[in-house]
Amino acid sequence: MCERDGDGNVVGIAGLSQNQHPHRFTLNGIRLSTWCALDSLFLPVMLQQTALVSSPCPTTGETIRLTITPEGVTSYQPASTVISIVIPQPTKNGLESVEEIWMTFCHHIHFFSSPQAAQEWFAAREQEIAILSIEEAFELGRLTLSEVLRHI
């Protein structure tokens, strides 16, 4: 799946974008963004590069900062940071466009400053979610990426 600008040029692919999304993703001083928080965790593995990530907690507004290498997450602040993972209910149309992926997954997968902030955010929403530690989410991203790469 790719993201295109108004002229049809590719500006994002596989979760990495030149456009602005909430999850700032810096590689070698180049500022990009990712479609969702989980993308921020598997892209360093795919690119074999260390990334600096900053993302606002949607509940508190607090900036969450992470350093992610191809081997794992080496630091994150605050120490209570977690990530939400949506358990999707696929539509009959599937996930055939980047917009469908965003609506089903990306708009609901966030870094939160604490488990309580995540629970508060989703209390009034109807998505079925799991709240994972950063380490668990990195492993999920790594496993997902390895499964995708197996089919390429």
Structure tokens at 87: 């358990």
Of the candidates 5, 7, 39, 57, the residue annotated as catalytic is: 39
Whether 57 is catalytic is no
Torsion sign across C-alpha atoms 79, 130, 71, 14 = negative
Of the candidates 5, 7, 57, 106, the residue annotated as catalytic is: 106
Whether 39 is catalytic is yes
Helix ranges restricted to H, 1-114: 37-47, 98-104
Which of 7, 34, 22 shows the shortest CA–CA distance to 98?
34
Whether 36 is catalytic is yes
Residues with catalytic function: 36, 39, 106
